[in-house]
Structure 1
Amino acid sequence: MSARTSDLGIAGAVPDVAAPRGGRLAGRGTALAALLIFLVLAVLPPVAVAVDDPFLVVTATRIIVFAIAALSLDLVLGYGAMVSFGHAAFLGLGAYAVAILSSHGISDILVQGVVAVAASALFALVTGAISLRTKGVYFIMITLAFGQMAYFFMVSLSAYGGDDGLTLAGRSTLFGLPILRSDHALFYLSLGVLAAAFVGLRALTLSRFGRVLRGTKENPVRMQAIGFQPFAFQLTAYVIAGALAGLAGVLLANQAEFVSPAYMSWQRSGELIVMVVLGGMGTLVGAIGGAIALLLLEDWLAHFSEHWKLGLGVFLVLLVLFTRGGIVGGVERLFGRTRP
């Protein structure tokens, strides 16, 4: 292969394979939809004060945290076609980094954040390097195995609560100041992280790196033939996603003021996958919308029956069968657009 061919880049070499997905929400509409969501979320604390419902802010913060985790999963699932059933392990590692450091007197959120992101990224690097040697159902099973290994490892740590989990002495501080003591402060910090994550991942997926990643999803053989190594790009995306999920874990630990091995279970990983599929894979904004929809739907159905998961399952089956592309796909068709 000539250097000339390698220098063409994705845009010039494989425009038909790696071109961005069409549809209103795949372009400018994605940013506009996300902006609308962020604006609605931003006014929730004043609304909560006006209606005297502080639990509204707590619920919204929890939704935002899981939206960040779902956003990170969409990078590998929606853009890289990597179905990871162990993604919650990164979320749990981030949460446990906060709890363990806090139990040893280190409460500064900057230190906790760096340790959490580094630990999650390292775990993603090691497990991803092994998992990506496989494909299809084998990849799913090996990520599930790694996730469960992390889960049972935390269960075995009796010094940090074991299966019962660990309650934090208090929320993280910043240079000794308890800035996150207020639910509103934690809410806006979480919202800021979500917005930054969306902007960063959107720029990444629209860049040359993102076009290569989409190309490896559609036609990895052709991408390799023109000089790109799918493994390197997929592993990089996997590490980025793991690090971002770890950061979400930092916020989750502060929101709940409690950590548990359940954060790392395969059920939690399954919920994250459902969020991405429900919202619309490979759109980013769909992951945010899916997290909002799933968690609100769970809370709503729980008011009607203790068997609410049965109703949720029926709803999700119907959605997958009759709504191509999840919520984003439905909105696109509503506006008379379809994705290729």
Structure 2
Amino acid sequence: MNRVKFGAWMIPVLFILLAAVPFVAQAMGEPFYVTFFARVLVYALAACALNLVLGFAGLVSFGHAMFIGLGCYAVGILSYYGISDGWLQLLTAVAVCALVGLVVGTVCLRTSGIGFIMITLAFAQMFYFLMVSMTTFGGDDGLNINEPSNFGLFELSGSTEVYWAAWAVLLAVTIFLARLKKSPFGMVLQATHINPRRVNAFGYSVFRVQLAAYVMSGVLTGLAGLLLANLTAFASPSYMSWPVSGELIVMLVIGGLGTITGPIVGAIAFLVMEEFFKGLTQHWMLIMGPVIVVIALVSKNGFAWLIRRREEPAPAPSAAPAAAPKVAAASAGESQ
């Protein structure tokens, strides 16, 4: 079987294997694995969201954990006031993350390079210390969530329920990103990383395209935060801290930047290695760090070389703007 055919089957095979986890865990009598892999799926969702700006647009956001925290507190604060309606919590998380993403993105995208990195980090730390100072909602100790999100037909009342919700959302987001990458918008977004001047010359606004991607990424990360809050029954400022943002970036690097399944494989690899090394020694970071460095050095695309499918942008539909594929092709040509 050639690499292209293998890659074409990667998404369904990966999600079938993930769907088997609860059944295998039940057969083994190990419910821990359901909780653990539910966490893996939540962070895979956040990594996929970050991939939209880092992998596609080349924007190194070092403050994406801020959106995880906002999603968590959307559940936690509403639950604190006795509101457990999951749809209202979801709407709140989406609205807050979209608004914050719009404001933060508008400011950050006026800069580039190290400036963009530092400003995203600064905003994340600002929200971190804001939640630390809000003693009404637990401050630095965090906020217990007593009522799970209730969506009417189902509620996220346990690890298994959160697992299947995260699995379904991750599958939908993966399909969405696969289609987005080949769409005219996706090709223009990738071209903004390759050659932003050429994109502007074709009449597109680099700022607007990247801002739309940043807001979209923030909303998807907020969904991961909502699921994480239900999984842990807890909302904490630590979810917004910069090490969490760093972990998401590492997941992308070892999984494969700009690939569709790379963030998922990266999240699985990172969290499984973390759990394994924690079982060996309390100084597991001394082992984990060099292993990640070796992976990054040995394979430029992380684990993506094992799973990479032919993900070049497909020709745009006849009704789509003809300039979109021209931008990607011209930008790629100039960069060679």
Residue of structure 1 equivalent to 2:205: 229
The count of aligned residue pairs is: 310
- 1:275 and 2:251 are equivalent in the alignment: yes
Decide which of 103, 114, 137 is 2:114's aligned counterpart: 137
TM-score where L is the length of structure 1:
0.88
- 1:154 and 2:131 are equivalent in the alignment: yes
- Structure 2 Cα separation of the partners of residues 127 and 185 of structure 1: 33
- 1:44 and 2:21 are equivalent in the alignment: yes
Q: 1:180 to 1:332 in 2, by over 3 A?
A: closer
- 1:166 and 2:160 are equivalent in the alignment: no
TM-score where L is the length of structure 2:
0.89
In angstroms, what is the RMSD of aligned CA positions?
A: 1.8
Q: Which runs of 5+ in 2 are unaligned?
A: 311-335
Residue of structure 2 equivalent to 1:106: 83
Residue of structure 2 equivalent to 1:70: 47
Residue of structure 1 equivalent to 2:328: none
- Structure 2 Cα separation of the partners of residues 66 and 200 of structure 1: 17
- Structure 2 Cα separation of the partners of residues 104 and 178 of structure 1: 21
Residue of structure 2 equivalent to 1:92: 69
The structural deviation recorded for 1:78 is: 0.4
The structural deviation recorded for 1:109 is: 1.0
3-state DSSP of counterpart to 1:319: helix
Residue of structure 2 equivalent to 1:19: none
- 1:116 and 2:93 are equivalent in the alignment: yes
Residue of structure 1 equivalent to 2:166: 190
Residue of structure 1 equivalent to 2:289: 313
Q: Which amino acid aligns with 1:111?
A: L
- Cα deviation digits, residues 52-76 of structure 1 (max 9, x gap): 1111110110000000000000000
The percentage of counterpart residues that share the same residue type is 47
- Cα deviation digits, residues 31-88 of structure 1 (max 9, x gap): 5212111101101111111111111110110000000000000000000000000000
- Structure 2 Cα separation of the partners of residues 201 and 229 of structure 1: 21
Q: Structure 1 stretches (4+) deviating beyond 6 angstroms?
A: none
- Structure 1 Cα separation of the partners of residues 186 and 126 of structure 2: 31
The structural deviation recorded for 1:332 is: 5.0
Asked if structure 2 preserves the Cα contact closer than 8 Å seen for 1:45 and 1:184, the reply is yes
3-state DSSP of counterpart to 1:43: helix
Q: 1:331 to 1:188 in 2, by over 3 A?
A: closer
